[in-house]
Amino acid sequence: MDISKKLVETHSLSKEECLELFSLFDVPESMEYIKEEAVKIRKKYYGTKVFTRGLIEFTNYCKNNCYYCGIRRDNRNIERYRLTEKEILDCCANGEKLGFRTFVLQGGEDPWYTEERIADIVRKIKKAHPDCAITLSVGEKSKETYQTWKKAGADRYLLRHETANEEHYHMLHPDSMYLSNRKKCLYELKELGYQVGAGFMVGSPGQTWEHLAEDLVFLQELQPQMVGIGPFIPHHDTRFANEKAGSVDLTLKLLSVLRLLLPKVLLPATTALGTLDPLGREKGLSAGANVVMPNLSPVENRKQYELYDNKICTGDEAAKCKNCLSARVRSAGYELVVDRGDYIG
């Protein structure tokens, strides 16, 4: 059987099969077929709905030193900030008025935000917005901490695996970070009943086709409810400042492949995609993505959460961001919905 047909019919590929599929990425008819099938299956499960998540970047302090990331610990050239509990709650209240039913609390790995402080915030958000889902994205913690947050009311957790290849992981992260622990965290989060999001950067320094095939195999093993992928974009204050950015085109192809490998997955058209191409997010939706994540953080802090250069949406109020995205979603033939947008099991 032709490998693209196997993908469409069985929704599974081995590492070797992924590599065979990648060799078709230059064949326009094959890619057209994959994209069409991805859109078809996305329509089957989600119709024309696009879910939206309000992103709150609540701290840019980070104890880690990922080589690609603008808010890494050793970057002395950024001004650090932490939102107060009240500021976070204000972002959520504003977000709810704008129609958001999911809040994503994302931050660096900031030890000031202890288990208890985060649990407190989660409880307060849940109390004020019982109909809303809370997603946490604050890095690698112990199973006990994840459990405390789950009990406090957290529903989902985003932790990109970044690359499923051990050696490549070490090219991107210092010795204090291990792929094995990252994977362990992802499995524990799943066990605890979180809806879990993994993912990786496309075109990160040193990434090979083999690595990408391993990413796809790992994601089939993990079966996450969400997968975040976006092109790597260099940040001027990192060791990768002069590396090439990832390809928008390849990211779009991989979005279609992911839609077919994990048919019901929640797949965002990411900010990084919109940063490299002004129509990147629209193209992402047309390739099989079904989620957008506009920024709800206070405008004063947006620029300080610069993971990569030229990040978009750093100057606009939440309301403006939402309207802009809503228009973009419509222009791609979809509709932004007011909904928690849970995984459909």
Measured distance CA(200)–CA(212) in Å, rounded: 9
Contacts of ligand 5AD in 242-261 (CB under 6 A): none
Q: Would you state the structure tokens that stand for residue 76, as one six-digit string?
A: 């002395």
Q: Considering all CA atoms of the chain, what is the largest pairwise distance in Å, rounded to the nearest integer? A: 58
Pick one of 22, 33, 46, 68: the residue that binds ligand 5AD (CB under 6 A).
Answer: 68
Q: Which 156-175 positions form the footprint of ligand 5AD (CB under 6 A)? A: 160, 162
Burial of 344 (0-12, 13-18, 19+ CB in 10 A): exposed
Helix (H/G/I), strand (E/B), else coil: 108: coil
Kindly calculate the radius of gyration of the chain based on its CA atoms and give it in whole angstroms.
Answer: 19
Residue 79 Cβ vs ligand 5AD, minimum distance, rounded to whole Å: 18
Binding-site member from 107, 230, 294, 298 for ligand 5AD (CB under 6 A):
230
- What tokens were used for 86? 């009240």
Point out the annotated binding site for (3R)-3-methyl-D-ornithine: 137
- For position 226 contacting ligand 5AD by CB under 6 A, the verdict is no
Asked if 230 touches ligand FES (CB under 6 A), the answer is: no
Of 145-153, 181-189, 226-234, 258-266, the window that binds ligand 5AD (rule: CB under 6 A) is 226-234
Q: Which residue has the tokens 């089957």?
A: 44
Q: Pull the structure tokens for residue 279.
A: 């129509």
Alpha carbons within 13 angstroms on the beta-carbon side of residue 264 total 10
- Using the rule CB under 6 A, which residue among 33, 58, 103, 232 binds ligand 5AD? 232
Residues in contact with ligand 5AD by CB under 6 A are 68-69, 160, 162, 201, 230, 232-233, 235, 272, 307-308
Residues that bind ligand FES (CB under 6 A): 62, 64-66, 69, 71-72, 108-109, 139
